Amino acid sequence: MTSGPLASSAFRAMGCSVEVHAPAAKIAQAAGIVERLFATWDAALSRFRPSSELSALNRSAGRAFAASDLLFRAVEAALGWATVTDGTFDPTLLLQIERLGYVRTFEEIEAGDPLAPLTEAIGPGGAWRAMALDRGRRTIRLPVGCGVDLGGIAKGMAVDAALDALVAAGIAPALVNAGGDLAVRGVPDGSDAWPVAIASLPSEVIPLQRGGVATSGALRRRWLQGGAPRHHLLNPATGFPAASGLSTVTVVAPTCAEADVAATTAYLRGSQAGGEFLLSRGLAGLLIPEAGSPIRILPWPQE
C-alpha cells in the first residue's frame, strides 16, 4: 500500500518553528494532531510561562510536588540522562541561566532593551543529585535553591511523542521537525530514506531511515549581558557558558530526545571527550570545531 505524495504544514511552539511532513491526503489531520500535542507540552513544560506546571514545580522547591504524568515523565527522563552523562547534561541550571539574563524567550531578549551587567553570584550545577522522585505517589521534590529547565529534552521528547501519535492515527510516513531537531517514521514512497540537510554544514545531506537528528551549538542563542557575551549552553562545573572549542554538534540517535541530549553532551565535553562519548553509545555524530575540519563519528556517512 502506497502513501502517495507528501505535503507539509508548519506552526510555532516551544520557541521554534515546528514542521510536519506527512501524506498529502492526511496532512491536515497530521498537522492538527502535532499542533495540539505541542501546545499541551508547551503549556505544561515551558519555563517562560508562569502558569506552566514546570513553573509551579520550581516555585515548590523544598516540598513534594504532585506532578502530572507528563511532567513526571519529562523530569524522570532528564534525571536519567543526567545520570548517564555524569552530570554533563544538567537539567538543574535554571537559576544560573536566569542570572545570566535568559529570563525571557530569546525573541523577547533580541527585541528588548540591553541587559544590565551580572550582579548575582553564579555557582556550579549538580543540584539534580539532590532531587527526589516518588514514582508511586508521582511526586517530585526539588532541593531549596534548585530550579529545573527541561529545554531541549522536552522538545525532543515532544517530537518523539508527536510521531507516536501520528502512527497511532495511521499516519505514516511522517517527519516532525522542531527547530532543526527532528525524527521520522517510515520512508517516502519511492525512496529508502529521508534526505536531511545539516544546517551547520550546508554541503552535508544524510539519508535518514529511522530515529532522530538533533544539533547543539551556541551560534544562534547568543546575547550580551552588560557587554559580556553569553550563550545558552552552560558548563555545569562553573554555571557559565561553555567554551568547548566546538561550533556545533549534530547527532543521529534512535530517538530525537536521545539525539538532543547526546549532541548537548558532546558539545559541552569538546571534540575529544565528546567524540568518545558518542562512540561509547554507538551514535553517529558530526562535530564542527570553531577552527579546523569537521569530525565525523562513525557510522556518520563519509564524504
pLDDT of residue 303: 52
In a domain, 302, yes or no: no
Say which CATH number the domain at 255 has.
3.10.520.10
How many domains does the structure of the chain reveal? 1
**Residue 131: inside a domain, yes or no?**
yes
Judge whether 119 lies within some domain: yes
Of the candidates 204, 230, 55, which has an alpha carbon nearest to the alpha carbon of residue 142? 55
Query: How many Å apart are CA 47 and CA 39, to the nearest integer?
Result: 14
81-97 confidence digits (pLDDT tens): 999 999 999 999 999 99
Tell me, yes or no, whether 1 lies in a domain. no
Give the pLDDT confidence of 126-147 residue by residue, as tens digits.
Answer: 999 999 999 999 999 999 999 9
Domain that residue 139 falls in: 6-297
pLDDT value, residue 151 = 86
> pTM for this one?
0.95
How many residues make up the chain in this entry? 303
The pLDDT, as a whole number, for residue 218 is 87
CB 96 within 8 A of CB 171: no
